[in-house]
Chain A
Amino acid sequence: MTDMAGRMAAARRQTGFYDRLRVNKNWQGLWFMAPAAVILLLFLAYPLGKGVWLSFTDAKIGRSGEFIGLENYEWLGWPWWSDKDGVFWLSVFNTIVYTVVASAVKFAVGLYLALLLNEKIPFKALVRSVVLIPFVVPTVLSAIAFWWIYDSQFSIISWSLKNLGLIDQNINFLGDPNNARMSLIFANIWRGVPFIAITLLAGLQTVSPSLYEAATLDGATKWQIFRNITFPLLTPIIAVVMTFSVLFTFTDFQLVWALTRGGPVNATHLMATLSYQRAILAGNLGEGAAIATAMVPFLLLAIMVSWFGLQRRQWQQGGNDD
């Protein structure tokens, strides 16, 4: 008798638990996330982990390596004061310069274009599509185009300047270290501006025109309207788009590889291209993996900065705007 009552109670408890589980939002959420989580683990976390592991081995192409501790990092020049060849640190320097200069200019030009396209200008639709062109062309194609533009003999820039009588010798775009750096940064800017311009334009179009009118009546000049209304309202979207821009620029590979392969004398090697050269071309998988792993802290830093930038501001919280 008591035995049976006990069993019934247990059954009731079980159904209760199962029922609760079925309607539990978190449990449902887990199932919705599962496919994405599996894909992420398989295609992102695993290669990342494998890469980090490789960086602690002396693996070569065709030969799985032994664990060698931090030797790869020491070989690259860690710590930096005992550095021998300096190529790794040069690539870090290049990557930072490349990212900072290109991102800053892309932001300035992109914002300027977005503001321009948001005004009433003639042939607006046409201008908008023209702005998008660099974004649509495949990277390698545009790299080839730049290759010709920067060619030491047939460069159209050199040719034009010569015909205008401004210079009398071809410019050595890709042969001189600083020229090569500037040329690459320019090409990256050319490719990256449309993304920023169009995204910021989308952001601008969400700002109600009556806010501008109200500010005009409040006595604001065009510049004051930009400073006090447009820019603050645009900050959330700026945070998003600049995070992406910085990440993509920092990890850029195609453009540099197609134009200079890191030359002349390693002057344009980015961490990504150096890693590829050491790992795949030279076959030192462990060393290449170490360079790639060294990018992670920088990327984490960038993500942290934008994470704080991306947090919902206080004024964005609460009901809707009207």
Chain B
Amino acid sequence: MASVDIHDVRKAYGSTQVVHGVNIGINDGEFVILVGPSGCGKSTLLRMIAGLENITGGEIRIGDRVVNDVPPKERDIAMVFQNYALYPHMTVSENMAFSMKLRGASKQEIEQRVSKAAGILGLGNLLDRYPRQLSGGQRQRVAMGRAIVRDPQVFLFDEPLSNLDAKLRVQMRTEIKELHQRLKTTTVYVTHDQIEAMTMADKIVVMHDGIVEQMGAPLELYDRPANLFVAGFIGSPAMNLMKGRIKDGRFESDKGGSFPIGAVPHGSEGRAVTYGIRPEHIHLAADGLKAEVVVVEPTGSETQVVAKVGGQELVCVFRERITAKPGETLGIAPDASLVHLFDGETGKRLG
């Protein structure tokens, strides 16, 4: 196990720069998730940690060692690929044993480690199968088994669940998290799915266009997003965001409608801001804002309602069951203490 330090790392392909100076500190044993929209440079960063891509600028340390010029096999890391990259001509046990065989480990040691990993992952009765004879979830598990037998300093995962169906994805999410709690190996995990990030990570790094937008514990990002991008990215359904101004201690939307604010930042009267409120922080209130129901989507445990206030549509999630039909009017009230305000120009969080 080891810490990983990423210091001002840059990456350019020819003249196009895709990672612009990223700083991330990963503690020993931590489970860190890099999350961001497709194409933001997550995989590139992960592959630089693995040594599969050259580092254009900056420094990556694993433990105390700067690994910029260390070849991949000496970095003592294991990686799980999105397409699993299982060797098709080797059985499950041969796949898992390959790295140890190359290292010249004894037959006995190989067998012992493979069967231990197979036990952890429930692969015991599949050891003689070839990858083609396995289902997606089983292949995923073999890929993890191949990483586990190495007992590396750091695990790297590149979107390992994106080829699985929704149900299996939820199940594997739990399994990976359990596995980490058991092995306590430092893990860097890449995904574009913010729910995966929220549910699994000790620490989330939100990336966008090759920079780090914010870094922190899942609930920290949820409670205090540092800027508009993070506010819109973290949370599902996404936060409602409206442009407008602060006037008399309330928020006046450009599209009409006036909304409550908990604590108005000092000296911000008349300032252009973006107002953010999460769907689950809007409640029913008979004496609240008048909202016209557009769509009602019951999920059983809660009800998602799209409602029109002034000129804009707001997404609301209520614990209550809603009987209102589209076209009817509901009274709603945003929880003023949970409102987020962002600077109208820079998009940075206010207060």
Which residues of A are at the interface with B, using a C-beta cutoff of 8 A?
208, 210-211, 213-220, 224, 228-229, 232-233, 313-322
A313-B130 Cα distance, complex, nearest whole Å? 11
Instruction: Report the minimum CB–CB distance from B151 to chain A (whole Å).
Output: 13
A232-B90 Cα distance, complex, nearest whole Å? 10
Chain A residues closer than 8 Å to B131, beta-carbon distance = 315, 321
* Interface size, chain B (Cβ < 8 Å): 27
B88, A233: Cβ atoms under 8 Å?
A: yes
Instruction: Report the minimum CB–CB distance from A290 to chain B (whole Å).
Output: 45
B81, A214: Cβ atoms under 8 Å?
A: yes
Q: Is B224 at the interface (CB under 8 A from chain A)?
A: no
Instruction: Report the minimum CB–CB distance from B331 to chain A (whole Å).
Output: 51
Q: Closest A residue to B101 by CB, please name it.
A: A228
Instruction: Report the minimum CB–CB distance from A313 to chain B (whole Å).
Output: 7
A320-B130 Cα distance, complex, nearest whole Å? 11
B130, A318: Cβ atoms under 8 Å?
A: yes
Q: Among A217, A219, A314, point to the contact of B103 (Cβ < 8 A).
A: A219
Most chain B CB within a 10 A radius of its CB, from A210, A211, A217, A319: A217
The answer to whether residues A216 and B102 also contact, given A211-B85, A320-B132 and a CB cut-off of 8 A, is no
A219, B73: Cβ atoms under 8 Å?
A: yes
B99, A219: Cβ atoms under 8 Å?
A: yes
Q: Is B163 at the interface (CB under 8 A from chain A)?
A: yes
Tell me the dominant secondary structure on chain A's binding face: helix
A216, B52: Cβ atoms under 8 Å?
A: yes
Which residues of B are at the interface with A, using a C-beta cutoff of 8 A?
50-52, 72-73, 77-79, 81, 83-85, 87-90, 98-99, 102-103, 130-133, 146, 150, 163
With A210-B81, A218-B146 already in contact, 12 other A-B pairs whose C-beta atoms are closer than 8 Å: A214-B79, A214-B87, A214-B146, A215-B87, A217-B51, A217-B72, A217-B73, A217-B78, A217-B79, A228-B87, A232-B89, A316-B88
A315-B131 Cα distance, complex, nearest whole Å? 8
Most chain B CB within a 10 A radius of its CB, from A216, A219, A314, A318: A219
Q: Closest B residue to A216 by CB, please name it.
A: B72
A233-B72 Cα distance, complex, nearest whole Å? 23
Instruction: Report the minimum CB–CB distance from A70 to chain B (whole Å).
Output: 49
Instruction: Report the minimum CB–CB distance from A239 to chain B (whole Å).
Output: 14
B73, A316: Cβ atoms under 8 Å?
A: no
Chain B residues closer than 8 Å to A215, beta-carbon distance = 87, 98
Give the total number of A-B pairs whose CB atoms are below 8 A apart.
75
What are 24 sample pairs from A and B whose C-beta atoms fall under 8 A apart?
A: A208-B85, A210-B81, A213-B52, A214-B87, A214-B146, A216-B73, A217-B50, A217-B72, A218-B98, A219-B73, A219-B99, A220-B73, A220-B98, A232-B89, A233-B88, A233-B89, A313-B89, A314-B130, A315-B88, A315-B132, A318-B130, A319-B133, A321-B132, A322-B83
Q: Closest A residue to B158 by CB, please name it.
A: A210
Instruction: Report the minimum CB–CB distance from A236 to chain B (whole Å).
Output: 10
B83, A213: Cβ atoms under 8 Å?
A: no
A315, B130: Cβ atoms under 8 Å?
A: yes
A319, B132: Cβ atoms under 8 Å?
A: yes
Instruction: Report the minimum CB–CB distance from A228 to chain B (whole Å).
Output: 7
User: What 3 A-B pairs are tightest by C-beta distance, nearest first?
Assistant: A318-B132, A218-B99, A210-B85
A215-B78 Cα distance, complex, nearest whole Å? 11
A211-B52 Cα distance, complex, nearest whole Å? 12
Chain B residues closer than 8 Å to A321, beta-carbon distance = 83, 88, 131-132
Instruction: Report the minimum CB–CB distance from B226 to chain A (whole Å).
Output: 34
A317, B132: Cβ atoms under 8 Å?
A: yes
Instruction: Report the minimum CB–CB distance from B114 to chain A (whole Å).
Output: 14
Chain B residues closer than 8 Å to A213, beta-carbon distance = 52, 79, 81, 85
Chain B residues closer than 8 Å to A211, beta-carbon distance = 85, 87
A213-B90 Cα distance, complex, nearest whole Å? 16
B132, A217: Cβ atoms under 8 Å?
A: no
Chain A residues closer than 8 Å to B72, beta-carbon distance = 216-217
A182-B163 Cα distance, complex, nearest whole Å? 55
Instruction: Report the minimum CB–CB distance from A117 to chain B (whole Å).
Output: 22
A322-B88 Cα distance, complex, nearest whole Å? 10
Chain A residues closer than 8 Å to B102, beta-carbon distance = 218-220, 224
A208, B83: Cβ atoms under 8 Å?
A: yes
A228-B99 Cα distance, complex, nearest whole Å? 11
A26-B150 Cα distance, complex, nearest whole Å? 52
Instruction: Report the minimum CB–CB distance from B62 to chain A (whole Å).
Output: 13
A55-B102 Cα distance, complex, nearest whole Å? 58
Q: Closest B residue to A231 by CB, please name it.
A: B89
Q: Closest B residue to A211 by CB, please name it.
A: B85
Instruction: Report the minimum CB–CB distance from B98 to chain A (whole Å).
Output: 5
Q: Closest A residue to B84 by CB, please name it.
A: A322
Instruction: Report the minimum CB–CB distance from B273 to chain A (whole Å).
Output: 46
A322-B82 Cα distance, complex, nearest whole Å? 10
Chain B residues closer than 8 Å to A214, beta-carbon distance = 79, 81, 85, 87, 146
Most chain B CB within a 10 A radius of its CB, from A214, A215, A219, A228: A214
